[in-house]
Structure 1
Amino acid sequence: MAQLREQPHDFDLFQAISLLERAEPDRAAVGTSVGLDEALRLTAQVSHSFAPSDIGALHDSRQPGPPLTLASPVLSLAGPGGPLPTPLSELLLERRRLRDTSGLEFLDIFNQRLLAFLYRSRRKHHLALSAAASDHAPLVRCLDAMASLGRAEGVRGPHGEQVWLRHAGVQGAAPRSMMTLLAVVRDRLGVRFGGKQFVGGWHTLAPDDRARLYSPGSSAPPQAGLGMGMALGARAWDQCAGLALDAPPLQPAQFAALLPGGKDNAMLTWLVGRHLQSAMQVELKLDLATKPATRLGDRSPVAPRLGLSAWLCSPAGEGASRENATAYAVNQAAAQGAGAHPGAAASHTPGSGGVRRAAHYRQPRFLLAIDAPEGN
């Protein structure tokens, strides 16, 4: 405020009015009352000289009402840019030179309203000029409605989070794409995920859709006719069932936060559920930048969880005993035969006294807990 009082010419007109309006929160906003109880008095700067700025002067008011008066050549009725004839402007300037300002004060009744309405129209479409909360601004309400952000309806995510307003451009389009989903997740979580579409999955058939035997005395259900809807089994494969998100190598803290039950996992689930427009399965694949050995206790950088963050460690290097190396290779081969990831097997080198360091780490894969897309 001190800089505005000393150097008003360095400020934009609407910025200055906004700052002065916020400095008087107990008074009515500019252009919303009769003028005497408003936060600022607006007058016209009438002169035939070139105006170097939209703000002519800012000084204390000499009349009852607003404490400050701002003079501006914008929308002035008199002067070079005004609608009044030049001889009438010259007459008003001559009367002011004789200390008679009654004519100019009469025109300021209209100048105050014209400039105030111009400021209100600009404030309506510029969030930075609004003194009230941004959620109540007309522009925010329009963006919220067009992009289905749910801010006005009170839609909240984990820990009371809201959809960011700057995502209205990428979430307002229909249909929504994988690229916009990745952009929203990257901006919100700071993780550059990769995406894959058309990931197949199984759908469980409803009991009424499954084939069953019926009594001869009752009508045959549609599922009983061959080639007319009969399905063997309780599941159906759909190649368009879902999509997959592949995370880059993560640090242990990020990795743990994206596991089920973590803070980022809940946020990611909510963001994806808000973005999807149909029921889909979402598979998340995580990766660790450094693969630490599994340790029980507080020393482990990632808490060991079976199937997610607990792995068998490869044995020691060349100094390991043959018995330990053989037992490790047998256990890994058995695990591979039981359906483990092929990369989890250790490769044993006969006669080496040990095994080469194994790729014992397996990237966890799991589905996000998204039951159905929200009404967006």
Structure 2
Amino acid sequence: MNDSYSNKNALIQKVLEEPYKFEFFQLVRLLEKALKERKPVGRYGVLPEEEIARFRSSLSFEFPASEVQEVRLNDDEIPEVTINFMGMLGLLGAMPIRYSELAAERARYGDTALWSFLDIFTHRAVSLFYRAWEKYKPAINYEHGNDNFTYYLFCLIGLGTDGLRPGRMGIDDEALLPYAGLIAQKPHSAVALKNIISDYFDVPVEVLQFQGEWIELGEENATKLGQSNNLLGVNAVIGTKIWDNQSKFRLRIGPIDFKKFQAFLPVGNAHKPLWEIIKFVVGIELDFDVQLKLKAKEVPSTILTTRAKRRPMLGWTSFLKSKPFTHDDEQLILKIKKTKGEKV
């Protein structure tokens, strides 16, 4: 065994010593990862001597106990993988068995010319067989960075162009791909939003629909006597606000522990991802707020010191507590901050 290969890692050393313990496809993948300086097998425009391995037929007439019979290094330091399940020669070979017998007989006398010649075709056939298997395995193509499946999923959720990515929402865009089936369904349901948020943050979630709110009327929509919007029963409105009971919902998160509670606060690392995911799924049609439900046993006492492990934040974590809470606390409701034409 050559030190240059045995030192790659213990797993590759095991491949060389006990190849019969490895499934063929996984063995080739391990060689590709370990020998990155060489080219993958079966690619067009790549010479066989540049590839990570050479595939050979087995001349054994015994019942094959494994897919891979042997892995050894040839004179050019290239791993030679002898396989049992396909090729030109052998019990499962494409050629008539007489050719396998002839090649085996000549090999016993040190003449491997016929065997080596036919293995030229074996190597190419096995290489293309591996490439065909790899082509329809999205996880394998993802490792190589050339898969189309990820792009298709991005298209389903509305992020198919590079201009809409990367990191536009402050989270890893690929983190949304597991929910492509839910996001692609329109219109989005409360159950879909609940499942996405609950799974992404690993917290209990409840969606409370039809939460009423007062909506400020723009100056152009207000009633002005003798000027505009002054037809009774048509467009006249008393006041500068109207009550809307159908364009807002509340996302209740919890009960959760204090660590996760802090993460969802505006100063926490989960606050922006939460807001961005909700906006991405729901769109701009609906308003929302978030209610955090803290476990009763996790409610901290307020300690007025900067050295406190759980230093109080007024309005968020400054609880007036004289005895342990008996019920989960759900006082905190995080409102939508409204900027010019945008909800944050």
Q: Using a 3 Å threshold, how does the CA distance of structure 1 residues 108 and 250 change in structure 2: closer, same or farther?
A: same
- Return the match for 1:142 from 152, 166, 179: 152
Provide the residue aligned with 2:261 in structure 1: 255
Aligned pairs (5 A) from 1:54-203: 54-62=67-75, 64=76, 67-126=78-137, 129=140, 133=143, 136-148=146-158, 153-156=164-167, 161-164=172-175, 165-203=177-215
Q: Structure 2 counterpart of 1:364, which letter? A: L
CA contact (8 A) 1:252 1:301 kept: no
Note if 1:266 corresponds to 2:266. no
Provide the residue aligned with 2:7 in structure 1: none
Bigger relative contact order, structure 1 or 2, given CA contacts below 8 A and separation 6+? 1
> 1:263 aligns to what SS in structure 2?
coil
Q: Structure 1 counterpart of 2:198, which letter? A: R
Following superposition, the deviation at residue 211 of structure 1 comes to 4.1
- Return the match for 1:297 from 305, 322, 334: 305
Instruction: Identify unmatched segments of 5+ residues in structure 1.
Output: 216-220, 317-356
CA contact (8 A) 2:71 2:80 kept: yes
- Kindly tell me the number of residue pairs found equivalent between the two proteins: 322
Looking at structure 2, the residues matched to 121 and 368 of structure 1 have their Cα atoms a distance apart, in angstroms, of 51
242-251 or 165-174: which moved more?
165-174
CA contact (8 A) 1:198 1:239 kept: yes
> 2:48 aligns to what SS in structure 1?
coil
> 2:263 aligns to what SS in structure 1?
helix
Q: Using a 3 Å threshold, how does the CA distance of structure 1 residues 305 and 104 change in structure 2: closer, same or farther?
A: same
281-290 or 50-59: which moved more?
281-290
Following superposition, the deviation at residue 276 of structure 1 comes to 1.9
Could you report, residue by residue, the CA deviation over 1:157-201 in whole angstroms, capped at 9, with x for unpaired residues?
A: 676644414344443443333333233323332321222223333
CA contact (8 A) 1:79 1:89 kept: yes
294-303 or 47-56: which moved more?
294-303
Taking every aligned residue pair, what percent have the same amino acid on both sides? 24
CA contact (8 A) 1:14 1:119 kept: yes
CA contact (8 A) 2:203 2:253 kept: yes
Looking at structure 1, the residues matched to 113 and 235 of structure 2 have their Cα atoms a distance apart, in angstroms, of 91
CA contact (8 A) 1:54 1:72 kept: yes
Q: Structure 2 counterpart of 1:92, which letter? A: A
Provide the residue aligned with 2:332 in structure 1: 364
> 2:210 aligns to what SS in structure 1?
strand
Note if 1:4 corresponds to 2:21. no
Looking at structure 1, the residues matched to 144 and 220 of structure 2 have their Cα atoms a distance apart, in angstroms, of 50
Provide the residue aligned with 2:63 in structure 1: 50
Note if 1:25 corresponds to 2:42. no
Looking at structure 1, the residues matched to 116 and 326 of structure 2 have their Cα atoms a distance apart, in angstroms, of 89
Could you report, residue by residue, the CA deviation over 1:317-360 in whole angstroms, capped at 9, with x for unpaired residues?
A: xxxxxxxxxxxxxxxxxxxxxxxxxxxxxxxxxxxxxxxx999x
Looking at structure 1, the residues matched to 156 and 343 of structure 2 have their Cα atoms a distance apart, in angstroms, of 18
Q: Using a 3 Å threshold, how does the CA distance of structure 1 residues 362 and 9 change in structure 2: closer, same or farther?
A: closer
Q: Give TM-score, length-normalised by structure 2.
A: 0.77
Instruction: Identify unmatched segments of 5+ residues in structure 2.
Output: 1-11
Q: Structure 2 counterpart of 1:269, which letter? A: W
Q: Using a 3 Å threshold, how does the CA distance of structure 1 residues 40 and 362 change in structure 2: closer, same or farther?
A: closer
Q: Structure 1 counterpart of 2:78, which letter? A: P
Measured on the aligned residues, the alpha-carbon RMSD in Å equals 3.5
Q: Structure 2 counterpart of 1:296, which letter? A: L
Note if 1:34 corresponds to 2:42. no
Provide the residue aligned with 2:285 in structure 1: 279
Could you report, residue by residue, the CA deviation over 1:90-117 in whole angstroms, capped at 9, with x for unpaired residues?
A: 3333443443332332222222222212
CA contact (8 A) 2:258 2:299 kept: no
Q: Using a 3 Å threshold, how does the CA distance of structure 1 residues 49 and 143 change in structure 2: closer, same or farther?
A: farther
Q: Using a 3 Å threshold, how does the CA distance of structure 1 residues 111 and 254 change in structure 2: closer, same or farther?
A: same
Q: Using a 3 Å threshold, how does the CA distance of structure 1 residues 151 and 11 change in structure 2: closer, same or farther?
A: farther
Greater radius of gyration (CA): 1
Looking at structure 2, the residues matched to 76 and 60 of structure 1 have their Cα atoms a distance apart, in angstroms, of 20
Could you report, residue by residue, the CA deviation over 1:57-107 in whole angstroms, capped at 9, with x for unpaired residues?
A: 100113x4x621111133313344343333344333344344333233222
Looking at structure 1, the residues matched to 90 and 165 of structure 2 have their Cα atoms a distance apart, in angstroms, of 51
Looking at structure 1, the residues matched to 305 and 120 of structure 2 have their Cα atoms a distance apart, in angstroms, of 77
